[in-house]
Amino acid sequence: MPEVAEPGDAARIAVIGKPNVGKSSLVNRLLREERMLVDASPGTTRDSIDSSFRYEGHDFVLVDTAGLKRKRSITGAVELYSVVRAVRSVERANVVFVVFDASVPFSAQDARIAALAHKSDKASVVVFNKWDLVEKDSMTAVELEKSMKERVPFLHYAPVVFVSALTGQRVSKLPGLALQVLGESRKRVPDEQLLDVLRRATEKRKPPVTSSGHTPFIKRARQTSVEPQVFTLTVSEAKAFRKAYILYMIRCLREAFGFHGAPVRLRLRAEKGKRGR
Ligand SMILES: Nc1nc2c(ncn2[C@@H]2O[C@H](COP(=O)(O)OP(=O)(O)O)[C@@H](O)[C@H]2O)c(=O)[nH]1
Ligand SMILES: [Mg+2]
């Protein structure tokens, strides 16, 4: 089995989501519930609050991308500003909690904010808050998760949790999930196992034959980065592996190694020559 790396220094968790989804309530509940608050100090930006806490021997800094109160008449500006703020805190984070309001329909702005976590290659947890307001018989967790994944397909790899900052339901699961996705994002995979998984993937489903009539193949594969997970494949012809095929290989890597909650990237580079092990 691949070795799971332990997080070293304090891991930063950015809590993002559009205004009013309950980010601040969630942060407050988490710190209160777990009685793990060590220190709360104004963040580097005037409008964010960094809170340090310790969970199962690991240090975290929780960053609430908190709200500036502005007049309703300039809603557009508030929305824009909330995205700018979220971008900044996501860049500095190790883990992102992407918070949605489970009691209202999923919106385009939800999707835009969620895209930040994916674009920045951060380990992510999807948090549906205000679960206490949801009529459980009309809208189940499964349906909500499904509609979110249709709108935000790139977050399909993230664990999803349904919580209530109001009642505290399942809020205590959050630190463990943060630790889990961070571990997945830092997991190391031995070269031979990696090549083995990829070769089996190409045997099961052959990459399309190139215009010159060759079946492209993988010569070497290495994990060239963790957090984010990046794999560099040396292949016979880089262009021969199309996007759909690259997504297929990523799916095979996830099946073999997990990487639950962690983004995975493949880099392909070509090297001419004969096949050889
Ligand atoms: N019913 C319910 N209300 C919530 C929950 N979490 C937050 N709220 C309410 O939603 C509103 C916005 O919460 P806030 O934490 O300020 O959201 P933020 O803008 O994302 O930080 C407040 O009126 C909260 O009391 C929840 O889990 N259930
Ligand atoms: Mg807030």
**Do strands 123-129 and 160-162 pair parallel, antiparallel, or not at all (unpaired)?**
parallel
Give dist(CA 226, CA 119) in Å, integer. 16
Give dist(CA 3, CA 258) in Å, integer. 12
Taking all residues of the chain, what is their mean pLDDT, rounded to a whole number?
A: 83
- For residue 88, what are its two tokens? 């900044």
- For residue 126, what are its two tokens? 């999807």
Report domain extents, the chain.
11-185, 191-270
Chain segment 22-52, per-residue pLDDT in tens: 998 999 888 876 555 445 554 444 445 688 8
Higher pLDDT, 16 or 79: 16
Chain segment 162-176, per-residue pLDDT in tens: 999 999 999 999 999
DSSP string, 139-177: S-HHHHHHHHHHH-GGGTTS-EEE--TTT-TTGGGHHHH
- The structure's pTM equals 0.86
Ligand 1 mutation target, pool 18, 23, 24, 25, most atoms within 8 A of CB = 25
Chain segment 121-143, per-residue pLDDT in tens: 999 999 999 999 998 766 578 88
Residue 117 CB neighbours (<10 A): 27
Q: Which residues line ligand 1 (CB under 6 A)?
A: 17, 19-25, 67, 129-130, 132-133, 164-166
Closest protein CA for atom 28 of ligand 1: 130
Give dist(CA 96, CA 213) in Å, integer. 45
Question: What's the rounded mean pLDDT across residues 240-244?
Answer: 87
Q: How far is the CA of 75 from the centre of ligand 1 (A)?
A: 18
- pLDDT surpasses 60 at 115: yes
pLDDT at residue 42, rounded to an integer: 46
Q: How far is the CA of 11 from the centre of ligand 1 (A)?
A: 25
Instruction: List beta partners, residue 230.
Output: 225, 265
Q: What homologous superfamily does CATH list for 191-270? A: K homology (KH) domain (3.30.300.20)
pLDDT at residue 70, rounded to an integer: 43
Chain segment 53-94, per-residue pLDDT in tens: 888 888 888 888 754 444 444 555 655 666 677 788 889 899
The ligand placed nearest to the CA atom of residue 98 is: 1
CATH class of 11-185: alpha beta
Closest protein CA for atom 8 of ligand 1: 22
- pLDDT surpasses 70 at 118: yes
Q: How far is the CA of 239 from the centre of ligand 2 (A)?
A: 46
Give dist(CA 239, CA 110) in Å, integer. 34
Higher pLDDT, 109 or 13: 13
Closest protein CA for atom 26 of ligand 1: 130
pLDDT at residue 15, rounded to an integer: 93
Give dist(CA 14, CA 83) in Å, integer. 13
Closest protein CA for atom 1 of ligand 1: 130
